[in-house]
Structure 1
Amino acid sequence: MIERIQDSISEEDKRFIYLGDGSGDYCPSLRLKEKDFMMPRKNFLWDLICRDPSLLKAEIHGWSDGEELQQILLHLINKVSMEQNSPFISSYCKLQALLVTAHEALPKALPV
């Protein structure tokens, strides 16, 4: 199934965050690439991965409860989002220094 999902997305847009909570998620996690993320549940799928973590190419982030899962998932989404937007940020944000003397900075007061 994961191969079909990977094939349906263009190569440049492919990044996966795979959440796994059981042993049935081990084989699909082996199909992830270096730029992907694997989030195994600790004391479940985590134990299988820890036996030989070198088999996984993806970055591994374990979680133990819903709160931790949420924190890690949001962090990874933000990380991917920032990495994808970084070329745009650097090309559109160009800072220039403008020299302005003190009397030019403020508009002239109008007489009343």
Structure 2
Amino acid sequence: MKKSVDNKTAFNSLIHGHAKEGVPEAAQEILTIMTCRDVPTDPESHALLADYFLKKNEPADAKAVLDSMMEQGHVPSPALLMSVMVALFNDGRVQTASRVMKSMIDKG
């Protein structure tokens, strides 16, 4: 990364590794770097990271990853959208959950 090498496969592998090892902050940082450098992201990387945040009961972070995923042009699975929406609702974030529902409707 210091040499500005923008290898999509390497970045996505790092994201997967950090998420699986329980270091989502590092994975999210790499995702941010990729976005800033216009390196194409992998929808599975976003989904894996969002799932990790959901398992850690951090629905706001999962929603941020979901938003980033859609900004990159990826369409999240209905299951991921539903999981984030339910987690936000259960966390008392009803208005945010309704925005996720609107995204679900917009994406068909």
TM-score for both structures, normalised by structure 2? 0.32
In our comparison, the structure showing a higher alpha carbon Rg is: 1
Higher-strand-fraction structure: 1
TM-score (norm 1): 0.31
- Which structure shows the bigger proportion of residues in helix conformation? 2
